[in-house]
Amino acid sequence: MIRHIVFFSARRKADVEAVRTGLLALGEIPHSRHFEVMLNTKVDPLSDEIDVVVYAEFEDEAALAAYKAHPLYAETTSRVKPLRELRYSADIVAS
């Protein structure tokens, strides 16, 4: 299983909700086993620059690749990219 975790910050605080709702569209892509978009609670002062977190689980690398190749992925990226400042991504193989 692949755990796909992506951290975003909005360019402007007023755009945080637009980033979150824009990213929710990725959940319509059928290749993930589990998909969530969450606001960072900012409890840890060392992570307060992160506004939104995407967490998804995929059966394998092929499912993750199919997710990223889906047309909705490119469409969502083009809509959210102008609103975001940072984007950090990690893909972790889990048992």
The total domain count for the chain is: 1
pLDDT of residue 95: 79
Instruction: Report the CATH number that the domain containing residue 27 is assigned in CATH.
Output: 3.30.70.100
How many helices (H) and strands (E) in the chain?
Answer: 3, 4
Which position has the token pair 């951290």? 7
Burial 38-77 (b: 16+ CB within 10 A, else e): eebeeeeeeeeebbbbbebbbeeeebbebbeebeebeebe
pLDDT in tens, the chain (95 residues): 999 999 999 999 999 999 999 999 999 999 999 999 999 999 988 878 999 999 999 999 999 999 999 999 999 999 999 999 999 999 999 97
pLDDT of residue 11: 97
Show the DSSP H helices in 4-95 as ranges: 16-24, 61-69, 71-80
